[in-house]
Chains A and B, each alone.
Chain A
Amino acid sequence: MSGELVLCHDCDLPNRLGEVPEGGAARCPRCNGLLYRRVPDSIDRTIAFATGGLLLFVVSNVFPFLSMEMQGNVTETTLATGVQALFRGERPLVAGLVLFTTILAPLLHLTMTLYVLLPLKQGRIAPASRRVFRLLHKIQNWSMMEVFLIGILVSLTKLVEMAAIIPGIALWAFMALIPIVAATTSSLDAHLVWSRIGGRS
């Protein structure tokens, strides 16, 4: 990896990558853009985070997310309830956007990461790895769970005068999932993966 020539993503300055210490990062001297971050045991770590994340994802989508008690009636919702309600309320575009950014994008992020990395750990390359890995990069930006969490906070303060709100297991799993997904991203050494799955240059 050392000595490889890379062009800065943001300003096109050619940089020769020197020796980057484990956990260290190389930045562009001209615009301070990130050139490369070296993570120790990147592939193992990323697999661990993504697997844990997938388990939390299942919990946060299957179990009750938020419940509301109003005059003795308890209503339970899951993460997808709002999406369903928006679809029924004839707002399919908004429903689709919420579905994609809070459920589909995180799920795709975790599964695509595992799809590429698990075979790689055994020295094999999964079919269409290059395409999947390119798509993975684009999808990450659309996973917005941490923003959704702020949305929960805002809506609860609006409802708190009307009803008692009971957080469910899924909400706790969802909150744990946010840093796990972030760790899945930051522990992945894309440079290393490309050098393994890429064609000859």
Chain B
Amino acid sequence: MTAGTALAGCHECHLALRLPHLADGGVALCPRCGAPVHRRKVNSIARTWALLIAALVFYVPANLFPVMTVISLGKAQSDTIMSGVIYLLLHGMWPLAIVVFAASVVVPLAKLVALTYLLVSVQIGSRSRPADRTRIYRITEAVGRWSMVDIYVVTILVALVNLGNLATIEAGLGAVFFGAVVVLTMFAAESFDPRLIWDRAELNDV
């Protein structure tokens, strides 16, 4: 059923159009907005896997290396993402600790798990609960930005503390890798095509 309809939705402007028959290597352009139109995002699964695996690899050093180092009176103290959360907890700031823990630990992990699940479910041709899986995808797409909190905290501390003379704060390698994880998972979510979830599910109706 799916293959029979040559109707395609432009991903940029949502225009519904009939795809013309193309020569090999030809690309149809949307008559309204000028974007290339494909029935599904090109190489969606392979591209999403590649970005996801890269994010997974970077996730390890992002948590092992310090996100920042405070040098004060000749003493250096380094903080990783986890030790930053523990610091907040030890100082009784548990609401903030929960926010940072959710943004820096739960969100990136949940994104990695959710995208892996979606990719596997599409690749094994799962037909179950497509609406729920689409919802998981939408949430994954929406929450990713919140992982940036830790990067911003480092930025603000670096700005304020280095101008005063008591201490020096340096952004650590962990911040670089963590930023990479955020960007890579955002691109991964963007390259996944939720319509793939429905391609198999639709066969139920036939």
Q: Report which A residues bind B (CB closer than 8 A).
A: 4-14, 30-33, 35, 66, 68, 70-71, 73, 75-77, 81-86, 89, 91, 93-94, 97-98, 101-102, 130-131, 133-134, 137, 141, 144, 147-148, 150-155, 157-159, 162-163, 165, 190-191, 194, 198-201
Contacts and interface: CB of A to CB of B under 8 A. Distances in A.
A6 B16 contact: yes
Interface string B39-80: 000000000000000000000000000000000000000000
Given A75-B164, A91-B175, A150 B170 contact: no
Interface stretch (B20-28, B115-123, B131-139): B131-139
A86 B164 contact: no
Contacts of A144: 145, 148
Given A14-B16, A134-B33, A199-B31, A152 B156 contact: yes
29 contacts: A6-B15, A8-B9, A9-B9, A9-B14, A10-B138, A10-B194, A11-B197, A31-B130, A31-B194, A32-B134, A33-B138, A68-B164, A70-B164, A73-B164, A75-B160, A85-B162, A86-B158, A94-B171, A130-B34, A134-B35, A147-B152, A150-B146, A150-B152, A151-B148, A151-B149, A165-B160, A200-B31, A201-B31, A201-B32
A89 B171 contact: yes
A190 B13 contact: yes
Contacts of B34: 130-131, 134, 199
A144 B162 CA distance: 24
Given A11-B130, A85-B158, A91 B176 contact: yes
A86 B163 contact: no
Given A68-B161, A86-B155, A154-B153, 11 more contacts: A9-B11, A10-B134, A31-B198, A66-B156, A77-B159, A81-B159, A102-B152, A147-B149, A147-B152, A159-B157, A165-B160
Contacts of A148: 148, 152
A12 B164 contact: no
A93 B32 contact: no
Contacts of A85: 155, 158-159, 162
A194 B171 contact: no
A158 B157 CA distance: 9
B115 to A, nearest CB: 15
A151 B176 contact: no
B161 A150 contact: no
Contact of A6 (B9, B156, B164, B176): B9
Contacts of A153: 96
Interface in B98-151: 99-100, 103, 130-131, 134-135, 137-138, 145-146, 148-151
Given A83-B155, A97-B183, A152-B156, A75 B96 contact: no
Given A7-B14, A7-B16, A159 B160 contact: yes
A12 B179 contact: no
A133 B156 contact: no
